[in-house]
Amino acid sequence: MVEPPRRARVVSLLANFCWVVLDQPGPAGQRRLLCTRRTRLGKSGQAIHVGDWVQVDVIDWPAARAAVSVLEPRCLLLERPPVANITRVVVVVALVEPALDPLQLTRFLITAELSGAIVELVFSKADLLPAQAVEHWLERARGWGYAPLAVSRATGQGVPALQQRLSQPGLAVLCGPSGVGKSSLINALMPDLDLRVAAVSGRLQRGRHTTRHVELFELADGALLADTPGFNRPALPLEPQSLVACFPELRSQLSLEACQFADCLHQGEPGCAMGSQWDRQSWYSQCLQELLSAKRRLAPSLRQDDGGSLRQRGDRLEPRLAAQYRQPSRRRQRQAAEAELTLPDQED
């Protein structure tokens, strides 16, 4: 009997094959399948990413093997590392060590908002500040329109609350500056992660350890968390007007009351519904000025690279990375991965 195709989510990629988690468990409760990828997905130029929804067929239940036959349209792709169909971006910043920089935090929140996913804000290292000082930041962030959590890997404070939020169906990625405790938090959220990695045997284990791909883990049924932090450098939108959509407090205020001029950039001009008395006004202004001057610099031809600190990526600008931070090209990564991996024997 030929099995009908089944819907599944790609949770890890290894050269020419991938692990998927089925939307609905198999006849004996199976959830994970190791799949080859059909060449026609590749030929049509469709690269599969972690997080993608796919259809699998030629299912061999006892061997837990199948083949990916269809890649479903993707709604959101986070780049570097590539993760598709993200539901939540969790921005993590430390309250101290490194000291909280609200402008930097704002840039991260902008980047997260640009993704279109639900944005969660987490203040880490709460054990290093008196409760009152922690509450101060929570209160402030509530004023910006977020429902922030204070967490500590050291005391465990806030971890169950974060776990609960991330246990809603969907796919979450933690983002934020280096050193704020993202990896520690991922480990706290997925205590059996080490165990799982150790449980993989033989050739696959080698593959697992030599590739740098993101892997997704289930915190609850249908609730996935990426085991690798997402972006650790913020990006700004290209159009100054689109900055508004990245500030929840601007969105909500402007939905109540419109500015006098439709193209208002909300810098506290007369007739601006925002005025200049809001908490993040100066950081908003700073980001806006940066965009405006980048736009002037890049005009008239946006594809000209002037060697400045921003570069065009898709429809947004982001800081140029020094050469040592740039990722090796896709091709070089792929070659490296393929050189290190032995493929499973299943035919395409």
Q: What are the residues binding ligand GDP (CB under 6 A)? A: 124-125, 127-128, 152-154, 178-184, 229
The listed partner (Zn ion, ligand GDP, none) that binds 127, CB under 5 to 8 Å by sort, is: ligand GDP
Q: Which does 51 bind (CB under 5 to 8 A by kind): Zn ion, ligand GDP, none?
A: none
Distance CA 52, CA 286 (A): 36
In our burial notation (b when 16+ CB lie closer than 10 A, e otherwise), range 141-175 reads beebbbebbbbbbeeebbbeebbebbbeebbbbbb
Shorter beta-carbon distance to ligand GDP: residue 174 or 223? 174
Return the one option of Zn ion, ligand GDP, none that residue 115 interacts with (CB less than 5 to 8 A, by type).
none
Q: How far is the CB of 146 from Zn ion (least distance, A)?
A: 21
For residue 114, the one-letter residue type is L
Q: How far apart are CA 123 and CA 95, in angstroms?
A: 6
- For the bound state, the minimum distance from the C-beta of residue 200 to ligand GDP, rounded and expressed in Å, comes to 23
Task: Kindly state the smallest distance separating residue 95's Cβ from ligand GDP, in Å.
Answer: 9
Query: What's the rounded Cα separation, in Å, for the pair 302 and 295?
Result: 8
Q: How far is the CB of 93 from ligand GDP (least distance, A)?
A: 10
Contacted entry of Zn ion, ligand GDP, none for residue 154, CB cut-off 5 to 8 Å set by kind: ligand GDP
Burial of 261 (0-12, 13-18, 19+ CB in 10 A): exposed
Shortest Cβ 117–ligand GDP spacing (Å): 19
Residues 6 or more apart whose Cβ sits within 8 Å of residue 85: 9, 51, 52, 53, 74, 75, 76, 77, 171
Write the burial class of residue 178 (CB in 10 Å: 0-12 exposed, 13-18 middle, 19+ buried).
exposed
134 or 236: whose CB is closer to ligand GDP?
134
**Per-residue interface string for the shown chain with Zn ion, residues 241-280, x marking contact by CB under 5 A:** ------------------x----x-x-----x--------
> For residue 298, what are the CA distances in angstroms to 173, 291, 292, 303, 323?
32, 10, 10, 8, 21
Contacts of Zn ion in 271-330 (CB under 5 A): 272
Q: Which of 197, 213, 178 is nearest to 83 (CA)?
A: 213
Least distance (Å) from Zn ion to the CB of residue 277?
13
CA dihedral of residues 263, 266, 271, 277 (deg, nearest 10): 170
In the bound state with ligand GDP, the residue whose beta carbon lies nearer, of 152 and 253, is 152
Q: Indicate which of ligand GDP, Zn ion, none lies near residue 184 (CB less than 5 to 8 Å, by partner kind).
A: ligand GDP
Q: Between residues 171 and 264, which has the closer beta carbon with respect to Zn ion?
A: 264
Per partner kind, with CB cut-offs from 5 to 8 A, the member of ligand GDP, Zn ion, none near residue 87 is: none
Q: Which residue has the tokens 């393929």?
A: 338
| Minimum gap (Å) between residue 267 Cβ and Zn ion | 7
Query: Residue 181 binds which entry of Zn ion, ligand GDP, none, with Cβ cut-offs from 5 to 8 Å by kind?
Result: ligand GDP
What residue type is 313 in one-letter code?
A: R
The residues binding Zn ion (CB under 5 A) are 259, 264, 266, 272
